[in-house]
Every structure is written in C-alpha cells, then in structure tokens.
Amino acid sequence: MTKLTPETRAGLKSRSRLVHAGRDVSEQHGFINMPAWRGSTVVFPTVEALKGRGARYTYGTKGTPSSEALEGAWSEISGAETTVLAPTGLAAITLALMTALAAGDHVLVSDSAYGPTRHFCDTVLRRFGVETQYYDPCVGADIGALMRSSTKAVLVEAPGSQSFEMQDVPAIAAVARARGACLIMDNTWATPLFFPPHERGVDLAIEAGTKYLSGHSDLLMGLVSANAAWAKRLRHTFDAFAMCAGPDDIFLALRGLRTMELRLREAERQGLALARWFAARPEVKGVLHPALPTHPGHAIWKRDFLGSSGLFSIILEPVSEKAVAAFLDGLELFGMGYSWGGFESLVIPFDCSTYRTATKWSPGGPALRFQVGLEDMGDLTADLERGFERLRAASVS
C-alpha cells in the first residue's frame, strides 16, 4: 500500500477521508491503528538537542504521535489550520473562550447555549473581568447592534442546546469579522461532517468528541479547531494550560473516527423517523427538529447544513409532572442521562425558563430531549407507546 498523494487526498469523499486521515501505516510498523502513546518524559541525545527544543516531541503535554494523528485528522475534516485536544467538551469550550478573551472584554453568548457554558461565563469569566451578555439566538445579522468596542468574541451554538433554535452563522460571522471579534461555535450537534465550520466563517470551532466521535459512551474529549487567523493564539493558550486529553481516550477517538459518518448517517435516519412519529402523536404539541419543514429555522438548516443528527426535542401537550414521570420512569429502552451521540437511546426532561435571560421560554407544555440510538425503530416506538399509555392513565387518575 503506497501513501496517499496530496492530489488523491484532496479528492477523497468524507467517508474515505475518515478512514485514512491521521493514519500512516509506514510510521506504525504496518499496524492499521495508531497505538495509544502513554508517556510524559522525552529524553534527548545531546545537550544541544535538549536546549534547542527542536525535536518533534519534547514532553507529553506538548503532544505525542497519538495526539498529533487525531489533531491532524480533525483539522483535515474540519477545514482547519490546527486543532487541539482537551479532556472534555466543556474544557474545549473554556479553552476557546480563554483564547479569545482578556480582562475588560465583552463577549456575546447565545441565550440557547449549553448550560455549563453559561456557568463558566457567569462565574470564572466574570471573576477574570470579562462581561458576558446573552442574546436572542435568532438575531442573525442584527447582532451588530449589540456589539461594543470591547466585544472581542461571539459564541454561537446551532442548533441551540435543548431548545434547538437555528442561528444564521454565516451572517453573524460576517458581522463579527467586520468588527474584529472572534466567532466561536459549539458545533457538537452536526460535527464538521454536517456543518463545515471554518467554511462558514467560524474562527474557533468546538466539538465534544464525547458524543459522535466516540459513539460508544466510553470516553470524554473536546476538540477546538482554528482557522489560520487564530491558530497560533489557540496553540499558545493550549500550551499554557496544558489541558490535555488522555492517551487511551485519544486511541478510542481515533478508532471512532473511522466509522463516524456511518454512525452519524444512521443517527440522522433514526432521528428523523422518530421525530416524524412524534409529530403524528396526539400527546405531542410540537417537535423541535431543524430538519423538519415545520421547524422555524428549517430554511437556515437546509441552506447551511449537510445533514442532521439523532438529537432533538419534543413539547408535550399540557400534563402534570406526575404524568410525565409515569411516561419516563417506565421506559425500558430509553435511559435517562445527560449525554448523547452513543449507540443507546436517551431522554431527559428540561425547562429552559430557569436560566434564559435574553429570551422567554414558554413552549406551552413539558419539554423532553431525545437522543435516538441504534435500536430497532419498531422496538423504540413500542416502548414509547407504552409510555404514552402510562401518561394518559396518570392524567386521569
């Protein structure tokens, strides 16, 4: 097997690229997979080499063959200049924010952002002298009216965490760039396969590898990729923090990378099938899935995205908490857990009204977020049908 030429690599479709990115069997003694390089200390042959720091690897926190392989592969599929690996998705978010911000700065954060992102902004960033302002995720190009001379970053998340608002990322990117602000995006829902962030104007893109890169709910990882303008600053911030992913998680992430598109395509198919099933149910008031034509942000999704994942939410018709609990507690195939992107189906109840500050969350009924796994769709709907029977029974008791 000969090495891929640059011309061949440039012409590969995404499925082929995922199989070959970050993998060079000639450097792996012929073995297919990159091994997990575990190590902290690197020794040097001479004083000159030690002091010169010109070696490819100098210390465990500065990179290993394993981390270099995954960083290179992710940059390739993201269209990025560079990528760094963090131990969790939240660590990746904090790393991106700390890359772009300094004391005295102002940051605009979508009101629909991931809850722990808000917590970091409201606690640590505030303590470091950074002011956070939350904005309506549907503001689009009008975000310019919220920007100040001190606005150094804008954080978007599309679709929004739990509530699934779509943001006009290219429009916001154009305004941010014109005003000299860094556009940061949490792109975990779509991954670079379904939303190429840097092609759409994003400066720093965040993905929780814990989700679809892993696919098996057995690792924690975050990735931050940067365009050419922000690559050096991201790398310097990463080196200063030494916020590294572990070698075994990197190994699992590289292994998961090879099948990520196949799993994501199946998650999309399963997710849309279940979303349409819910849309036909009398107990369901609405389905929050951007790929459905009924979604308010469907036009943006159709224009900017190449697919959808298996995560979406529903709004139930008004029922009591007791009825919702009866529905959820008896489910056998849907676990109740806060992550997603794995092979198993999950569900959580949520209420955005407890934390929204720039927008009002009033959906008209209880809200549930579903992660659709790889189980048979007939088995999943049968489990949910029994759940709706319990919900109806609890509503009249």
Q: What's the pLDDT at 44?
A: 83
Query: Whole-angstrom Cα distance, residue 384 to residue 375?
Result: 13
Query: Whole-angstrom Cα distance, residue 164 to residue 174?
Result: 22
All domains in the chain, ordered by first residue:
6-257 (3.40.640.10), 260-396 (3.90.1150.10)
Beta strand pairing call for 106-110 and 131-135: parallel
Show Cβ contacts of residue 258 under 8 Å, excluding neighbours closer than 6 positions: 18, 19
For residue 306, give the DSSP letter: S
Query: Whole-angstrom Cα distance, residue 379 to residue 231?
Result: 46
Query: Whole-angstrom Cα distance, residue 284 to residue 365?
Result: 9
> Which pTM was predicted?
0.92
Q: What's the pLDDT at 142?
A: 98
| pLDDT tens track, the chain, 397 positions | 556 677 767 777 777 665 666 666 666 656 666 677 788 888 888 888 888 777 788 887 888 989 999 999 999 999 999 999 999 999 999 999 999 999 999 999 999 999 999 999 999 999 999 999 999 999 999 999 999 999 999 999 999 999 999 999 999 999 999 999 999 999 999 999 999 999 999 999 999 999 999 999 999 999 999 999 999 999 999 999 999 999 999 999 999 999 999 999 999 999 999 999 999 999 999 999 999 999 999 999 999 999 999 999 999 999 999 999 999 999 999 999 999 999 999 999 999 999 999 999 999 999 999 999 999 999 999 999 999 999 999 998 7
Query: Whole-angstrom Cα distance, residue 164 to residue 313?
Result: 8
- Among candidate residues 236, 237, 215, the one with its CA nearest the CA of residue 340: 215
For residue 393, give the DSSP letter: H
Tell me how crowded residue 16 is: count the other CB atoms within 10 A of its CB: 14
Residue 258: both structure tokens together: 């090879």
Return the beta strands (E) in the chain as ranges.
Answer: 82-86, 106-110, 131-135, 151-157, 182-186, 204-208, 222-226, 284-288, 311-316, 334-335, 345-350, 367-371
Torsion sign (Cα): 34, 61, 217, 69: negative
Read off the amino acid at residue 31. Answer: F
- Among candidate residues 141, 151, 155, the one with its CA nearest the CA of residue 181: 151
Query: Whole-angstrom Cα distance, residue 171 to residue 268?
Result: 26
Rounded to the nearest 10 degrees, the angle between the axes of helix 377-396 and helix 321-329 is 150
Q: What's the pLDDT at 30?
A: 64
For residue 1, give the DSSP letter: -
Q: What's the pLDDT at 48?
A: 84
Question: pLDDT digit string (tens) for 106-133?
Answer: 999 999 999 999 999 999 999 999 999 9
